């Protein structure tokens, strides 16, 4: 049928870009090499890094779905910034001062939770989309009842993760992260990792490719010029703790 939109089969999932333009551009170059039908973003487009407006602009134009994260909502005044730690709060105040009204309006229009086809997307967790971190099997267990799709994609923790639901009496299983396609073989909570501020000890930008037809996924790591981002953060007088942690990846 001419003009009919086909369901996306291969999707790149990015999250926690955090105003890191160099990391985002490197990831999108990799995405373009791999070739996908759509790109989805799980939020925290801004906060921490030196290029919030440029990142908003790119995500807005390249992503078929975008969510808002706690940093996006803090920067537009939708949630109180006293809930952030001092470094995040300082970066948030600076971010808010440099975002345009158009940027803020668009960020304010984004949902924090969404379901499409066989997938639920949340920034934090399906149970508490803005603030909850899903980083362990016990927290994952409490969240499997909060979505009805096969997979739930979450960001927020900056830790790549795949946790698979088991039978009622058995705790969920955490799978090893793999650059090759893995089939979780069941309902799963999946974190693609962070583009702009990885925290799993690997400073390379991280994202995931989903194959919705085969029901497989793969995590990918991409190098980028960390030093250039650190220099721009220094110029913007962002906290040195945030500048240093980029090269440690934690």
Interacting residues with Zn ion (CB under 5 A):
16, 44
User: Please, are residues 229 and 198 in contact by the beta-carbon 8 Å criterion?
Assistant: no
Q: Least distance from C-beta 187 to Zn ion, angstroms?
A: 24
- The DSSP-derived string for 156-215 is SS---EEEE---TTS--EEPPP-SS-B---S-EEEE---SSS--SS--SEEEEEEETTTT
Residue closer to Zn ion, measured from CB, 124 or 172: 124
Residue closer to Zn ion, measured from CB, 206 or 212: 206
Residue closer to Zn ion, measured from CB, 85 or 169: 85
CB-nearest residue to Zn ion: 44
Q: Least distance from C-beta 69 to Zn ion, angstroms?
A: 6
Residue closer to Zn ion, measured from CB, 12 or 68: 68
Alpha-carbon separation of residue 232 from 29, 59, 85, 87, 142 (angstroms): 21, 20, 22, 17, 40
Q: Least distance from C-beta 124 to Zn ion, angstroms?
A: 9
Rg of the chain's alpha carbons, rounded to an integer?
Answer: 17
Q: Least distance from C-beta 1 to Zn ion, angstroms?
A: 40
């Amino acid at each position: 049928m001419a003009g009919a939109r086909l369901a996306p089969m291969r999707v790149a999932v990015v999250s926690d870009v955090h105003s890191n333009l160099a990391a985002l551009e490197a990831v999108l170059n990799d995405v373009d090499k791999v070739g996908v039908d759509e790109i989805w973003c799980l939020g925290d487009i801004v906060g921490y890094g030196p290029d919030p407006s440029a990142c908003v602009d790119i995500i807005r134009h390249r992503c078929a779905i975008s969510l808002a994260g706690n940093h996006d909502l803090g920067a537009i005044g939708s949630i109180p910034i006293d809930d952030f730690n001092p470094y995040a709060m300082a970066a948030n105040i600076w971010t808010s001062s440099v975002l345009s009204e158009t940027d803020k309006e668009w960020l304010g229009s984004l949902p924090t939770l969404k379901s499409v086809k066989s997938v639920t997307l949340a920034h934090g967790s399906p149970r508490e989309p803005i603030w909850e971190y899903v980083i362990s099997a016990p927290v994952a267990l409490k969240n499997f009842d909060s979505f009805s799709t096969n997979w739930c994609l979450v960001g927020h923790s900056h830790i790549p993760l795949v946790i698979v639901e088991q039978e009622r009496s058995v705790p969920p299983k955490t799978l090893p992260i793999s650059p090759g396609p893995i089939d979780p073989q069941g309902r799963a909570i999946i974190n693609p990792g962070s583009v702009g501020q990885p925290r799993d000890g690997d400073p390379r930008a991280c994202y995931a490719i989903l194959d919705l037809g085969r029901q497989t996924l793969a995590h990918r790591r991409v190098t980028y010029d960390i030093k250039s981002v650190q220099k721009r953060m220094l110029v913007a007088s962002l906290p040195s703790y945030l500048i240093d942690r980029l090269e440690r990846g934690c």
